[in-house]
Amino acid sequence: MKRTVLVTGASSGIGRATTLKLLNEGYCVYASARNLTRLKSLAANGANILELDVTQDQSMQRGVDRIMGECGRLDILINNAGYGSYGALEDVPLDEARHQFEVNLFGLGRLTQLVLPRMRKQSFGKIVNITSVGGKIYEPLGSWYHATKFAVEGLSDCLRLELKPFGIDVIIIEPGPIKTEWGTIAVEKLMKASGHTAYAAAAQAGAKLLALANDETVASKPAAVADVIAKAIKVRRPSARYPIGTGARFLMTVRKFASDGMMDAFMQFMLRRASARQP
């Protein structure tokens, strides 16, 4: 049977790479984003494109209803939509903080709510939540972003236990630095919020650290994440979480065994090292 997959945030980066990977493996893929124009190349490759805004309930309901109307089932949901809002907590307006949660957490949760009745009825489903190593570690000037990713980790762990009796798996994907638009957007947000405040010096250092996500000598390619997702959804008993990308497993290991004081010192060292890099 041909499995049906919904991928959010499919217009670029991990979402786009995952869509192409799953199309190549024979899945029926619905690639979604707010802007249909950016999905046209995926349509040319065989994807069904879907206008979907994870901050708008009606948009999500329409999307799920369309898939059910056309396919009669939805087997796999890949919650990939998200972005990084950086800046000192003192500087970031609460409206922006709320929007960060709407995109990274509440949209993910609501879309999952909408697909679960269908998955329970068919006694099969895979919920794949793209978090980040940022759901386990932390860095200065990233409080709202990291708060959302820590929250998605906790949500996913609870959900995994809730859904096990229904034959539905919950899989957490934890990318390290990946070369996508994410790093550029995060730097723009950071400098807009704190580039000219009391935190300007820290923002300059933080921007260099975030820029490593676009450094080909450091960051992994989105296809590496897509490969892991493709393998995880095939496994009968998938692992709870999959760290992937440059340094991801190392950072998870450091966080597991390091005290908070050691972790603070490690992050400060990373910031100094990034700050010393030439532009």
What HEC string does the chain produce? Answer: CCCEEEECCCCCHHHHHHHHHHHHCCCEEEEEECCHHHHHHHHHCCCEEEECCCCCHHHHHHHHHHHHHHHCCCCEEEECCCCCCCCCCCCCCHHHHHHHHHHHHHHHHHHHHHHHHHHHHHCCEEEEEECCHHHCCCCCCCHHHHHHHHHHHHHHHHHHHHHHHHCEEEEEEEECCECCCHHHHHHHHHHHHHCCCCCHHHHHHHHHHHHHHHCCCCCECHHHHHHHHHHHCCCCCCCCEEEECCCHHHHHHHHHHCCHHHHHHHHHHHHHHHHHCCC
What is the number of other CB atoms lying within 10 angstroms of the CB of residue 20?
A: 21
**Is position 138 annotated as part of the catalytic site?**
no
Q: Which of 27, 145, 199, 242 is catalytic?
A: 145
Tokens 């630095």 correspond to: 177
Active site residues: 145
